[in-house]
Every structure is written in structure tokens, then in C-alpha cells.
Amino acid sequence: MRKYEALDSIDRKILREIQQNGRISFIDLAGKVGLSKSPCLKRLRALEKERFIKGYRAELDADKISRGYLVYVQVKLSRTNREALQAFNSAVQDIKEIMCCDMMSGGYDYLLKVRTRNMHTYREFLGDVISVLPGIDQTSSFPVMEQVKEISHLVVE
């Protein structure tokens, strides 16, 4: 498998373009990166196979689908041995309201990004779901008042 540093400028252009518009046609993509259709498609498939491109998806408006209430939750576990961490990691995988779960260092163990309908549904979620996750010792919730910036695109230089 190639590393990012081994990608040439055309592969990097493909990554930039496909990240901006995952629905771009192969012909348009080829034109934007300066290739004909077949070589462009071959490079794109190689980037997919090597997992530089993990998938394609639509970006939905959270407010329009009643998931506009955003809360960050700091989680501290009672123990942080391998088994406790694995149990927590496994438990969060299928919880659809948890958009992101990052293991942290410092004063707490995890930071969760949670989306629900409103404060009431978040309160129920906190009591019924988060508080019963394995190893939970303490949580702190931080509701978002206004999302100032959110990007999902990575910088491709």
C-alpha cells in the first residue's frame, strides 16, 4: 500500500475533487485533473482500493431531519485497563445518536459528539443510554449554542 507522501499531483487532485463533489462524473473529473477518462477511472479505483477514499455519502441537514440538538459529552471511566476500554469502545459502536467517539488523554477518557432532536430527548438519552455504558464513572455535557464552523473535508496538499 502506498503512503500519502507517495501520491503524485494527479492523485492528489483526484482526492481534492472527489472530496468536494462525490457525485462528479468520471468525464468531468478527468477534465479537472487533466487525464482522459480511462486513466482517471483507473487511478480513482486504485485510490478506493488502497482506502484513501473510504466511501461516498450525502451530507444531510441535521435540523431538517430533526437531529439539530448537538451536545459534546466528556466521559470518565471508573477504570482504564484494556478490558474496560474495549468494553466501552464496543458499546458505543451501534448507538446512532453518537456521531463521533474519541479516546482522549487528560482529565477525561472520551469525548462524544451526540445529536438528538432536542434537550428533552438528549436528557432521556443521557439517562437511558450513556449512563449505562460499561465503566461510566462520570459525564459532563456541553450543549452547542451555535455551530460556527464545521468541515468534513481534509486538506490535500
pLDDT digits (tens, 9 = 90+) for 109-118: 999 999 999 9
Contact 50, 83 (CB under 8 A): no
Which CATH number among 3.30.70.920, 3.40.50.2300, 1.10.540.10, 3.20.20.70 corresponds to the domain 69-143?
3.30.70.920
Cα–Cα distance list, 46 to 12, 20, 56, 74, 80 (Å): 13, 19, 15, 39, 39
Q: Which amino acid is at 50?
A: E
For range 119-148, the mean pLDDT: 97
pLDDT of 157 = 84
For range 115-139, the mean pLDDT: 98
Residues of the chain with CATH 1.10.10.10: 4-49
Q: What's this model's pTM, rounded to 2 decimal places?
A: 0.87
Q: What CATH code is assigned to 4-49?
A: 1.10.10.10
Assign 5 a pLDDT band (cuts: 50, 70, 90). Answer: confident
- What does the CA dihedral 20, 26, 30, 36 come to, rounded to 10 degrees? 170
Closest C-alpha among 54, 46, 50, 57 to residue 22: 57
Query: Under DSSP, is residue 100 helix (H, G, I), strand (E, B) or coil?
Result: strand
User: What order do you get walking across the sheet with 110-116 strand by strand?
Assistant: 98-103, 110-116, 69-77, 136-143
